[in-house]
Every structure is written in structure tokens, then in C-alpha cells.
Structure 1
Amino acid sequence: MRDCLFCKIATGKVHAKIIYEDENVMAFEDINPQAPVHTLVIPKKHISTTLDIKEDDSALIGSLFRIAGQVAREKGIAERGFRLVSNTNPEAGQTVYHIHLHLLGGRHMHWPPG
């Protein structure tokens, strides 16, 4: 997607503080953190929303969660706990239409989230 911010980050056209990258997945720091640890985990493949995930994306989606766990361990928040959030469409707060996980931690999380 030509105008997708996360596609531009994934291809190096836009700078981000990257903390993990492989051929399919990238993790980078959120520019507007909502917790002491706020990392975004994205597929490099453009998928607009969770409603657009296809069956052949299953391994890729599994990789997002695996990498999120790896980053949580590296950031030292795995044992204390962390939250993974994926927003879909406007009422849920999705602002970048490229699926991603928000990895949030480093403080006590409240429920319901709001």
C-alpha cells in the first residue's frame, strides 16, 4: 500500500526505532506511548484490518504473537504481565489501517480498558 505508514516503516521509507525485524515481522517503539513499554508488532505484508486476514495468513499471525512474547521477555515485562491490543475499525480506535499488535506493559493495567 503506497500511503500506508506501517508499510513505509517496514520498507525503511519512514524511520522508526526498530527493536525486532525478520523477513515477515517488525517490532518498533510507538511514537505516542501509553505505557512505559509500548511496542508495535506488525506484519510486513499489508493487511488492512483483522477482518482482512485470510487462512493463508495463519502462520504470519502466529508469528506476531510469538514475537510479541519475545519482545516482552526482552523488555523485562513478561513475568509481571503485559497487554496485547489489536484495534479494528474506527470505533475501536484503529487509526493506521495495517494490522498490528500494541504490546503494553511496565505498569498496572486496568479493566475495562475504556
Structure 2
Amino acid sequence: MTSSGYSGDDFYCDVALADISALDVVHDGVGVLAYHHTRPHWPVHIVVVPKVHVPSFTDLAGADEELLRELLDVVQAVARDVERQHGAARVVTNLGCYQDSKHLHVHVASGDAGLY
């Protein structure tokens, strides 16, 4: 599954969460999904996203405390695994015009940037 040709503003609700079976899943929990990015920017690039629509890190509409705890727990576990396996990890979320998909998502990555 790739996002090429997708022209909407919420890839996660519209494409990824609509067909989880097409993804390379790392974690599939009650409220949070983590999977290998469909168009990775780093050699290791995992995306962690709530399964319900939450606009962004600065607009948590739609998220309750339980979901946010689960999200942080999954980000921490994925980052810990990436760091253990690759020696380093970065955790990034984008906001405003940097956020291509208007759905809260956290990138957990390792390695030098580029298109892989």
C-alpha cells in the first residue's frame, strides 16, 4: 500500500486504517496502530497512530486520557525496540503545514534521511 496518488488530507483514516491488513503492522492495539511507513523517509520508519481521528498533537479533540496513555505507551515500546535493534531512534510528530496528514501520528525512526 502506498500513498502515491492520494489527494485527501487524512491518509490514516481514509487509507491506512481502512485496510490494516495491507500494512506491515508492528502493533495493533485497542486504540493504537503502529506499522512500517508505506513511503519511508528513513531506513527504519514506523508510524504510530490512534485508530480514531485525532487532529494533531496540539488539537487532541477525539482523544481521551486512556487513548493518549496507550499512544504514549506504544510510542515508547516501539522507540525502545528501534533503539535496542539499531542503536538510536528519533521520535517526531509534525504540526501545521508540516503535517501532511491531518491525523495525529508519531514517527519512530532510525538512520539517515532519504527515500527508501
Q: Secondary structure in 2 aligned to 1:26?
A: strand
Aligned partner of 1:53 in structure 2 is: 60
Q: Does 1:6 align with 2:16?
A: no
Q: Does 1:31 align with 2:38?
A: yes
1:22 Cα offset (Å) = 1.1
Change (3 A) 1:55 1:34: closer
Change (3 A) 1:19 1:63: same
Identity %: 24
Q: Does 1:97 align with 2:110?
A: no
Distance 1:14 1:96 in 2: 20
4+ aligned runs moved over 6 Å, structure 1: none
Of 35, 48, 65, the residue aligned with 1:41 is 48
Structure 1 spans left out of the alignment, 5+ residues: 110-114
1:26 Cα offset (Å) = 0.1
Equivalenced residue count is 103
Change (3 A) 1:47 1:28: same
Structure 2 spans left out of the alignment, 5+ residues: 1-7
Q: Does 1:78 align with 2:78?
A: no
Distance 2:63 2:36 in 1: 28
What TM-score comes out, normalization by structure 2 length?
0.72
Provide the aligned C-alpha RMSD in A: 2.7
